[in-house]
Amino acid sequence: MDSIIGYEVDFLRVGENSKSGDAIAIRYRLRDASRRERYEVMIVDGGDQKAGQALVDHVRYVYKTERVEHVVNTHPDADHCAGLSVVLQELDVGTLWMHQPWNYAADILARVLDGRHTPNSIEKRLRGKLSAADRLEQIAEENGIPVRSPYRGERIGPFWVLSPDEDWYVDELVPYFKDMPEIDEDEGDQEHLDEGQLWGKNVKSAADWVSEDWYNETLPAVAVEPRMENESSVILWGDFNEDKVLLTGDAGPEALTRALDTLTVSRINPCTNLKLTQLPHHGGRHTVTPTILDRLLGPIRAPTSRSNVCAVACVAKESERPRRVVANAYTRRGARVHTTRDCRGFWYRRDMPERQNVSVQNPLGLFDKVEA
């Protein structure tokens, strides 16, 4: 069996304005039983079209290959999957990993209250609303690229899918995607907020500020329920020998809790060897809670204590994320928080070749004023 002897993760900046997205390139070095070495490449999300081209250029000119073993689309939002169309068309891709919610149209129909709908109408609605993801499936079929579903327990290169599991995805996530027909709530387990409730009444303006210090944390103990599309994000746990890597997409609190539960059942403590983690939803304030972060990073440390965890927020050049209250919460637990805001990207590596002209970025400090 081949062993991994080095890896690097590149978080590319997506967006020049305030709209962020994710575009992540990963390369790892393998050694076989005969001690021969080779590299493999994996891409997680592709941002917009411009970011997709940046990923292609990065693979070609930095990784020096045309081959990508695995492409993962964490969820169907355009700011995560539109750029992957460029990747699929221009590079030699081994497997595309993505959810195809339209394949569950019949399951959804069984719970729809309006009898005028059919499986075809629901499938058409999903493909139309999620056109960027639908396009990925079309390109993969045109180019003979296998498409697989990234559900809990699947192995994708050196990564293990922690969330979602298929039952949760089909029963409690897809039926509540935006603009889906009204669902019979008696068939489900959750109470769901609509878009107006979530982003209107329950979310305070970021113009309201409160004071924080090291021991005064204002991150809410209970997170607002996010969009179900975000909760459907593929959460990946990377196993690079002593180093572990967590990639979260736009996952919300329930998805993150389920992912941590999966690790617990597998007797894995993320506090032990986690070296690199992504801030969910670009560091949005309604994705993590103190309890989730305590499970992931450990409790709040002394101000002079730091861990070896690097936490990265993929944000656009003019983005207000990561939210200060979130960055502070990671910092208190020892993480070094970095962003892609003021650079083309952030590079993390272990036992990989040096690069020319890579600038060193200082982590964010503790903010004394945060969003209320």
Residue with token string 């409730």: 197
Give the H or E element holding residue 43: strand 37-46
Kindly state the tokens that stand for 195: 């878009």
Kindly state the tokens that stand for 219: 């991150």
Kindly state the tokens that stand for 166: 């298929």
DSSP state of 335: -
Q: What is the pTM of this model?
A: 0.92
Q: What is the pLDDT of residue 223?
A: 78
Domain boundary assignment for the chain:
3-187+209-353
Q: Is the pLDDT of residue 183 over 80?
A: no
Q: What is the pLDDT of residue 226?
A: 75
Q: How sure is the predictor about 38, in pLDDT bands with cuts at 50, 70 and 90? A: very high
Buried b (16+ CB within 10 A) or exposed e, 287-315: bbbbebbebbbbebbeeeeebebbbbbbb
3-state SS, residue 125:
helix
As a whole number, mean pLDDT of residues 318-322 equals 86
CA atoms of 223 and 287, how far apart (whole Å): 6
Choice between 179 and 329, residue whose per-residue pLDDT is larger: 329
Q: What is the pLDDT of residue 185?
A: 57
Choice between 100 and 202, residue whose per-residue pLDDT is larger: 100
Q: What is the pLDDT of residue 15?
A: 67
Q: What is the pLDDT of residues 324-364, one digit of tens each?
A: 999 999 999 999 999 988 887 899 999 999 998 777 788 99
Q: What is the pLDDT of residues 209-237, one digit of tens each?
A: 999 999 999 999 987 777 899 999 999 99
In the CATH scheme, what is the code of domain 3-187+209-353? 3.60.15.10
Choice between 34 and 224, residue whose per-residue pLDDT is larger: 34
Q: Is the pLDDT of residue 106 over 80?
A: yes
Q: What is the pLDDT of residues 236-252, one digit of tens each?
A: 999 999 999 999 999 99
Q: How sure is the predictor about 307, in pLDDT bands with cuts at 50, 70 and 90? A: confident
Q: Is the pLDDT of residue 188 over 60?
A: no
As a whole number, mean pLDDT of residues 272-288 equals 93
Q: Is the pLDDT of residue 266 over 80?
A: yes
Q: Is the pLDDT of residue 206 over 70?
A: no
